[in-house]
């Protein structure tokens, strides 16, 4: 299918009244072999993607690549992203318990990569080694693992440091790729064992076609998936309105009625994604938790939700959204309080602030009010906006950062929703704390205290675990080193007259496994 010309990128995003949007419902089950259309895959599914990247490797942090890799790469286990339930992917079944700390996982019979080579236990071992390399930001997910070894060609032995209940969930984040592929080749165009394989990857478009060697239970249902990389909201909207795309990611709330008028389905799901403020803790007065709290209290978050977000978000009352089973409303609440904020700022002698932000459109929509709220304290505010890649490589991921405060988006729920992943993403012993916020270096006492709380929590279960996770949430609110303003609702739209078995999800990216065309 040739790409039809978009309508003008400047299509007006219609302002609308508050919308009643349906939540994600129904079963999260994937299409299985027995449910697949008798005629096999048919048609081309076109998707309007909201993010861009140059890294499609199995250890990417890109929202676009995470979403495309769900169709191409497999772990031993995979999430149904609509409800985060876990199903065996490359594994033949559940881990077999040998002891409290030793498990064995057998690969499914006849599993092959898309290039025709068999998937072996050694590929699992080498993929785990890549995932937990010292330079990998995924390493933090596997502190409970002692070793991963090949028992034979089809069996992997996983030895744990201590009993750990969420083994399958964590191992969804080890995507299995051929041992022979080098890092550069993986980033450019990885080979996987999933239902699809990459056909072509360019800066503006990604295509995938059925993997002829796939023998799992979620076969390809379309002849081609085409992701149109449309970071700009208006361009993504135009592509939906003129029929270029069948699914639209990250729908602006103000455009929902416009899309619904075409007959498309628009759904909103409470998510984990958020805009966060990250402070440079090596720089006074941002090394003071009271000042960090004050900056948060200066911002009218409910007004941001009501105006810039069109009501499609929930003000953060904890690091976790209130939909997480381990959520606790924290003892320290960073509610809008101009007087308290002004007093703390004055006591610290702060008179100006440099706010560095990413150029994501929805982040840009927040800036005018945040700037005005901070200026109401008497601060001089300078805003510097740039692409995420530039912000992290040139501003944050340096040995001696000079920024004051960063405003950027994040959503680690693509890796799962257990509290250890969500809180640890920004606060564990990793690049976020070693370089970006510098929390580990600037305040080792409090940093180490938080790590101790996390380490205790992952070894507990039931009420004891929930209480300890609550303690972790209280501590992060008190410290406010990297902390959310609100948690977004993810709005997705799709052409229900054309698309089948599509389910919106609570994270960035689009889960298209099992999605077909009528």
Instruction: Indicate the DSSP class of residue 320.
Output: S
**pLDDT tens track of the chain, all 518 residues?**
333 333 333 333 333 333 223 333 333 344 333 344 446 899 999 999 999 999 999 999 899 999 999 999 999 999 999 999 999 999 999 999 999 999 999 999 999 999 999 999 999 999 999 999 998 989 999 999 999 999 999 999 999 999 998 999 999 999 999 999 999 999 999 999 999 999 999 999 999 999 999 999 999 999 999 999 999 999 999 999 999 999 999 999 889 999 999 999 999 999 999 999 999 999 999 999 999 999 999 999 999 999 999 999 999 999 999 999 999 999 999 999 999 999 999 999 999 999 999 998 889 999 999 999 999 999 999 999 999 989 999 999 999 999 999 999 999 999 999 999 999 999 999 999 999 999 999 999 999 999 999 999 998 989 999 999 999 999 999 999 999 999 999 999 999 999 999 999 999 999 999 999 99
Portions of the chain given CATH number 3.10.105.10: 274-488
Cβ-proximal residues to 284 (8 Å cutoff; 6+ apart), any chain: none
CATH 2.60.40.650, applies to 41-73+194-264+495-517: no
H-type helices in 325-461, by residue range? 338-348, 361-375, 388-390, 419-427, 431, 439-442, 444-457
Portions of the chain given CATH number 3.40.190.10: 41-73+194-264+495-517
| pLDDT for res 61 | 86
Q: Is the peptide bond before 285 cis (omega within 30 degrees of 0)?
A: yes
CATH code reported for the domain at 74-182: 3.90.76.10
CATH 1.10.3720.10, applies to 274-488: no
| pLDDT for res 23 | 32
| Pairing label, strands 274-279, 482-484 | antiparallel
Structural contact between residues 496 and 266, judged by C-beta atoms closer than 8 angstroms: no
Portions of the chain given CATH number 3.90.76.10: 74-182
Report the SS3 class of residue 113: coil
| pLDDT for res 39 | 65
Tokens representing residue 133 in the block = 């390399």
Beta strands in 70-124 (DSSP E): 77-80, 85-88, 96-99, 102-106
| pLDDT for res 29 | 40
Q: What is the DSSP string of 308-339?
A: TTTT-EEE-SSSS-TTSTT----SS-----HH
| pLDDT for res 137 | 87
């Amino acid at each position: 299918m040739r790409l039809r010309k978009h309508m003008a990128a400047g299509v007006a995003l219609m302002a609308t009244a508050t919308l009643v949007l349906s939540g994600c419902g129904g079963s999260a089950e994937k299409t299985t072999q027995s449910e697949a259309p008798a005629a096999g895959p048919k048609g081309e599914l076109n998707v309007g993607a909201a993010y861009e990247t140059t890294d499609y490797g199995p250890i990417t942090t890109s929202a676009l690549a995470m979403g495309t890799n769900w169709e191409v790469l497999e772990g031993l286990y995979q999430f149904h992203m609509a409800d985060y339930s876990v199903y065996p992917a490359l594994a033949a079944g559940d881990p077999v318990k040998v002891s409290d700390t030793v498990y064995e996982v057998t690969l499914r019979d006849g599993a092959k990569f898309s290039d025709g080579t068999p998937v072996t236990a050694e590929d699992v071992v080498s993929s785990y080694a890549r995932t937990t390399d010292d330079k990998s930001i995924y390493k933090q997910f596997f502190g409970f693992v002692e070793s991963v070894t090949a028992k034979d060609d089809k069996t992997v032995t996983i030895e744990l440091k201590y009993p750990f209940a969420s083994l399958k969930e964590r191992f969804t984040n080890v995507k299995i790729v051929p041992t022979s592929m080098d890092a550069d080749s993986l980033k450019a165009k990885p080979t996987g064992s999933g239902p699809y394989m990459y056909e072509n990857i360019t800066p503006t478009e990604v295509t995938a076609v059925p993997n002829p060697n796939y023998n799992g239970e979620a076969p390809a249902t379309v002849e081609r998936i085409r992701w149109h990389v449309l970071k700009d909201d208006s361009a993504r909207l135009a592509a939906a309105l003129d029929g270029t795309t069948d699914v639209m990611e990250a729908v602006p709330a103000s455009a929902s009625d416009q899309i619904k008028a075409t007959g498309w389905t628009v759904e909103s799901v409470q998510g984990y994604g958020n805009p966060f403020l990250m402070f440079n803790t090596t720089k006074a007065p941002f090394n003071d938790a009271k000042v960090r709290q004050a900056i948060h209290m200066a911002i009218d978050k409910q007004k941001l939700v009501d105006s810039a977000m069109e009501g499609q978000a929930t003000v953060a009352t904890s690091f976790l959204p209130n939909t997480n089973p381990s959520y606790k409303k924290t003892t320290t609440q960073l509610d809008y309080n101009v007087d308290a904020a002004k007093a703390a700022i004055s006591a610290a002698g702060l008179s100006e602030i440099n706010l560095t932000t990413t150029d994501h459109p929805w982040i840009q929509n927040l800036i005018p009010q945040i700037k005005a709220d901070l200026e109401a304290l008497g601060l001089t505010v300078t805003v510097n906006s740039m692409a995420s890649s530039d912000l992290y490589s040139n501003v944050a991921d340096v040995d001696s950062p000079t920024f004051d405060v960063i405003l950027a988006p994040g959503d680690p729920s693509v890796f799962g929703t257990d509290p250890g992943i969500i809180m640890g993403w920004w606060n564990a012993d990793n690049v976020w704390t070693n370089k970006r916020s510098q929390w580990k270096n600037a305040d080792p006492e409090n940093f180490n205290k938080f790590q101790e709380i996390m380490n205790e929590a992952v070894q507990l279960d039931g009420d004891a675990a929930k209480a300890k996770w609550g303690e972790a949430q209280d501590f992060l609110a008190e410290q406010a080193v990297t902390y959310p303003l609100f948690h977004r609702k993810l709005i997705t739209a799709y052409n229900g007259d054309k698309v089948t078995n599509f389910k919106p999800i609570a994270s960035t990216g689009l889960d298209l496994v099992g999605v077909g065309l009528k």
